[in-house]
C-alpha cells in the first residue's frame, strides 16, 4: 500500500483516478480547491481535503507524510474557457511549482504531471488532415496562448527538478479526455460532452437545431477516460522521463463527431455554424509511436463506444435534473 496524493481530485480525471487507486488498496489523500459538494466524484475512503494549492503552505500540508504525487490540478476547461481566461490558466503555474518544491523537501518518491496537447506549436496544427503531433513538435515553442504556455513551462520545471534534485517526474500530454462524470454544461465543457448535451436537449425540447463552433471541419482526437486512467498509471511507473503523448490516434472532424452522436441519439438535427466562436487550432491528432515503443500499448477504446457511454450518462443527468426542477416547482406552489 502506498500513500498517494491526488491534486485536482475534485475534477473529472482526478475523480476517476482517486477511485481507481482507492480500489487498488492505496491510502489516498484527495485535494481540490472546490467545496466538497462541488467535486465531480467523492471517494469516502480517501482523505478528502479542500485546499488552494496555489499557496505554498497548502502544498506542504498536502504532501507531508506521503510517497507519491499525481498533479492533475489546474484552472481549465474547453476551448471557450481557455481562450477567454488566459490569466487564470497561467496562474495554475503556482500549483505545479509549489507542489514540486514541497515534494522535493518532503521526500516524495515519484511525481506525475498532467500536461496537455495545447503545448504543441500552433503552426503545426493548421491542416485538418494533421498526420499526428510527435513529442518533438512542441519545439520551437509556439504553444496555445495562456493555458498551453503554462503547461509547457511546468513541464520544464519537472525536468529541472529531476535534473537538479533527483526527483523522479513523469509527464503526459493529454489529448481531449472525455467520458462519464465530466463537465457537460456551464462553459468549461469540451466538444464531446457539449455536443452530447446539445443533441439531448434538442430531442427534449423539439428544437431540431444544433449550434456548432467553427465550420465543423476542424479535427481532433478524443480519448475515453478509461484509457486515460490506465495511461496515467502506466506512465507514472515507467522509465519514461520525457513528456509523452497520452491520446487516441482516431482523428475525426467535429462534423464527424456530430454524426456519431446523432446516430447514437437516433435523430438528425439542422446544423448552424458559428464562425465567430472559439474553435482552437485547425487540426490536432496524437502521434503514438513513442508510447507504443515504451509501453507496448496506446489508447484504443473506439470513439463510438466511449461516446455511447458518455451520451447515456449525460442523458441520465439531464433527466434527473429535470425531475428535481419539476419537484421543486411543485413544492414551491
**Helices 191-205 and 254-265, packing angle to 10 deg:** 40
DSSP string, 265-327: HT---EEEEETTS----SB--B--HHHHHHHS------HHHHHHHHHHHHHHHHHHHHHHHHH
The H or E element that residue 68 is part of is strand 68-71
* Residue 237 among the catalytic residues: no
Q: Which of 24, 31, 9, 311 is nearest to 180 (CA)?
A: 311
Taking the C-alpha atoms of residue 193 and residue 327, their distance in angstroms, rounded to an integer, is 26
For residue 96, give Cα distances in angstroms to 112, 137, 303.
Answer: 10, 23, 31
> Parallel, antiparallel, or unpaired: how do β-strands 219-221 and 251-253 relate?
antiparallel
- Indicate which residue of 147, 178, 184, 311 is catalytic: 147
Active site residues: 147
Amino acid at each position: 500500500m502506498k500513500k498517494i496524493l491526488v491534486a485536482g481530485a475534485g475534477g473529472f480525471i482526478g475523480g476517476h483516478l482517486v477511485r481507481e487507486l482507492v480500489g487498488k488498496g492505496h491510502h489516498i489523500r484527495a485535494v481540490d480547491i472546490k467545496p466538497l459538494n462541488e467535486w465531480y466524484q467523492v471517494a469516502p475512503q480517501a482523505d478528502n481535503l479542500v485546499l488552494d494549492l496555489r499557496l505554498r503552505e497548502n502544498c506542504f500540508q498536502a504532501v507531508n507524510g506521503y510517497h507519491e504525487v499525481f498533479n492533475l490540478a489546474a484552472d481549465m476547461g474547453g476551448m471557450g474557457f481557455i481562450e477567454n481566461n488566459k490569466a487564470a490558466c497561467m496562474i495554475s503555474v503556482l500549483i505545479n511549482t509549489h507542489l514540486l518544491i514541497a515534494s522535493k523537501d518532503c521526500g516524495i518518491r515519484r511525481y506525475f504531471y498532467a500536461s496537455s496537447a495545447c503545448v504543441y506549436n500552433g503552426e503545426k496544427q493548421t491542416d485538418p488532415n494533421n498526420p499526428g503531433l510527435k513529442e518533438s513538435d512542441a519545439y520551437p515553442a509556439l504553444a496555445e496562448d495562456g493555458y498551453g504556455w503554462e503547461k509547457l513551462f511546468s513541464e520544464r520545471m519537472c525536468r529541472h527538478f529531476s535534473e537538479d534534485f533527483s526527483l523522479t517526474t513523469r509527464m503526459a500530454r493529454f489529448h481531449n479526455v472525455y467520458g462519464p462524470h465530466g463537465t457537460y454544461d456551464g462553459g468549461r465543457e469540451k466538444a464531446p460532452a457539449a455536443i452530447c448535451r446539445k443533441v439531448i436537449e434538442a430531442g427534449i425540447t423539439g428544437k431540431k437545431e444544433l449550434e456548432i463552433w467553427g465550420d465543423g471541419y476542424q479535427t481532433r482526437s478524443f480519448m475515453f477516460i478509461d484509457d486515460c486512467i490506465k495511461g496515467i498509471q502506466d506512465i507514472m511507473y515507467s522509465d519514461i522521463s520525457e513528456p509523452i503523448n497520452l491520446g487516441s490516434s482516431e482523428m475525426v472532424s467535429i462534423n464527424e463527431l456530430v454524426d456519431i452522436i446523432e446516430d447514437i441519439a437516433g435523430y438528425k438535427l439542422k446544423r448552424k455554424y458559428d464562425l465567430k466562436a472559439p474553435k482552437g487550432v485547425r487540426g490536432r491528432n496524437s502521434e503514438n509511436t513513442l508510447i507504443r515503443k515504451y509501453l507496448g500499448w496506446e489508447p484504443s477504446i473506439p470513439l463510438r463506444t466511449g461516446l455511447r457511454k458518455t451520451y447515456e450518462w449525460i442523458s441520465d443527468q439531464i433527466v434527473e435534473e429535470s425531475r428535481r426542477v419539476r419537484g421543486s416547482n411543485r413544492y414551491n406552489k
